Amino acid sequence: MADTPRSRKAALLDALRVRVLTQAVPPGSDLDEVLLSDEFGISRTPLREALRELAGEGYVELTQNRGARVSELGHTTLRDFFLAAPMIYGAVLRLAAAHAQPFQISELKQAQEAFRAALARGDVAERALANNRFHAITGDMAANIYLRPSFNRLLIDHARISMTFYGDDQRDEPGQAADQHDAMIAAIEAHDADAAAQLAEDHWALSRDRIAQFVMPSPLSNRLGDSIPSVRSL
């Protein structure tokens, strides 16, 4: 790719997305616009355009008289994630099974190969990025203009949670997740929406209990647990 202002802006966008997802830049961190301008060789105007784009996607927050900082990942955010994740994942996979196109299924299989390769190498950051890519493709398949923005925001925090709470943990969960990815591909390829929704519920269950330890105190979890709808009902 030619070195142009547009390509430098694209490089900045890609780099900041990866840095946020992998927590190379921690939640709540201020972004130094001068350093970013120097690093990527872009002027203030395209830099601000890029930051506004990232803010719209949920990676950063823009505040008056302070500039840009990475979106927070505090208790409230984590609690909201815990409540919304099973519903949104289930809806996305149900719609993905209904609407997936052959070229998207091919992309999903390639993303799964990358995920398994990251598992084999034991690279936590690469694993989080590959998992994010896999699920982002299912969001494309779902093709719902109302659901997709929420799903994209969810994926940002899912990747960051993975980096925060799982670290270099290589117990059974990642391998089970990879197996479930394979099952999701099969259900989507067969256009079996019910099976896809059930797999979303099973997939969420792998990490739900561990995330709950950090998201909800026990009294709140007990009070809300029975009211959280099953993804199969969506």
pLDDT tens per residue, range 2-21: 678 889 999 999 999 999 99
Sign of the C-alpha dihedral computed for residues 180, 184, 190 and 195 taken in this order:
positive
Give the CA radius of gyration of the chain. Answer: 18
CA atoms of 181 and 222, how far apart (whole Å): 30
| Mean of pLDDT over the chain | 86
Q: Phi and psi of 133, rounded to 5°?
A: -65, -45
Give the residue from 89, 135, 97 showing the smallest Cα distance to 229.
89
Which residue carries 């990676």 as its tokens? 59
Neighbours of 171 (CB within 10 A): 8
pLDDT tens per residue, range 42-84: 999 999 999 999 999 999 999 887 889 999 988 888 888 888 9
Q: What is the pLDDT of residue 207?
A: 73
pTM for the predicted model, two decimal places? 0.85
Q: What is the pLDDT of residue 225?
A: 43
Structural domains present in the chain:
5-70 (1.10.10.10), 75-233 (1.20.120.530)
Q: Which two tokens stand for residue 126?
A: 């690469």
Single-letter residue type at 127: R
The stretches in the chain having pLDDT less than 70 are 1-2, 165-174, 209-234
